[in-house]
Structure 1
Amino acid sequence: MTTRGTASGITSGRVWKKPPFIANPWVRYGLIALTLTYLFWAFSTLPFDWERISEGLPRAAKIFGGAFPPSFERAELLWKGFKESFQIAFLATLLGVFLSIPIAVMAAKNVAPKPIYLLGRAIIIISRSFHPVIVAILFVAAVGFGPVAGILTLTLYSIGFVAKLLAEEIEEIDWGQVEAMRSVGAGYLKMLIYGVFPQIMPRQIGLSMYQLDSNLRASAVVGIVGAGGIGGTLMNAFGRYDYDFAFAILLMIIGIILISEGVSGWVRKKVW
Structure 2
Amino acid sequence: MDLSGASQAARQAFAPNWGARLGLLALALYSLYAMAQLDITWDRLLIGFGEAGRFLARMWPPNFERWELLIEGLLESIQIAVLASALGILLSLPLGLMAARNLAPTLLTAPTRAFIALCRSLHYVIVAILFVKAIGFGALAGVAALTIASMGFIAKLFAEAIEEISMKQVEAIRATGAGFGAVLLYGVLPQVASRFTGFCLYQLDSNLRNSTLVGIVGAGGIGGTLFAAFKRFDYDFVAAILLSIIALIFLAEVISARIRAAMQ
Give the structure-2-normalised TM-score. Answer: 0.89
Q: Runs of 4 or more off by more than 3 Å in structure 1?
A: 47-62
| Equivalent position SS for 2:165 | coil
Structure 1 gap segments, 5+ residues each: 1-21
When structure 1 is superposed on structure 2, of 243-252 and 166-175 the one drifting more is: 166-175
Q: Which has the higher helix share?
A: 2
Aligned pairs (5 A) from 1:114-129: 114-129=106-121
CA gap of 1:216–1:23, structure 2 versus 1, over 3 A, is: farther
- State, as a whole percentage, how many aligned pairs show the same letter: 50
**Aligned-pair distance for 1:195?**
1.5
The residue that corresponds to 1:66 in the other structure is 58
Unaligned runs of 5+ in 2: 1-13
Supply the AA of the counterpart residue of 1:75: W
Matched AA of 1:121:
R
Q: Which secondary structure state, in structure 1, belongs to the residue aligned with residue 103 of structure 2? A: coil
2:168 is matched with which residue? 176
Inter-partner Cα distance in structure 2 for 1:23 and 1:93: 51
Deviation at 1:105, TM superposition (A): 0.5
- The CA distance in 2 between the partners of 1:166 and 1:152, in whole Å, is 21
Could you tell me which residue of structure 2 aligns to residue 210 of structure 1?
202
SS in 1 for 2:227: helix
The reply on whether 1:97 has 2:61 as its aligned counterpart is no
Partners of 2:21 and 2:186 in 1: CA distance:
54
2:30 is matched with: 38
Is 1:189–2:181 an aligned residue pair? yes
Single out whichever of 186-195 and 204-213 deviates more from structure 2: 186-195
Q: Counterpart amino acid of 1:129?
A: S
Pairwise CA RMSD: 1.9
The Cα offsets for residues 147-199 of structure 1, whole Å up to 9 and x where unpaired, read as 00100011011111111111111111121221122111112222112221222
Counterparts in 2 of 1:100 and 1:70: CA distance versus 1, 3 Å: same
Aligned to 1:267: 259
Contact 2:35 2:41 (C-alpha < 8 Å) held by counterparts: no
Q: Is residue 220 of structure 2 the alignment partner of residue 228 of structure 1?
A: yes
For the structure 1 residues 37 and 51, does the alpha-carbon distance in structure 2 shift closer, same or farther, using more than 3 Å as the test? closer
Change (3 A) 1:123 1:271: farther
Residue 38 of structure 1 deviates from its aligned partner by 1.1
Provide Cα deviations, 1:67-126, integer angstroms capped at 9, x if missing partner: 111011000000000000000000000000000000101111000100111112112211
1:149 is aligned to 141
Distance of 2:34 and 2:228 partners within structure 1:
35
Distance, in Å, in 1 between the alignment partners of 2:262 and 2:215 is: 32
Q: Tell me the TM-score normalized by structure 1.
A: 0.86
Which SS does the other structure have where 1:145 is aligned?
Answer: coil
**CA deviation digits over 1:210-231, x for unaligned, max 9?**
1111100000111111110000
Residue aligned with 2:170, SS: helix
**What is the distance in 1 between the residues matched to 2:249 and 2:57?**
25
What's the secondary structure of 2:137's corresponding residue?
A: coil
Note if contact 1:178-1:196 (Cα within 8 Å) is conserved in structure 2: yes
Select which of 120, 130, 139 maps to 2:122: 130
Structure 1 counterpart SS, 2:242? helix
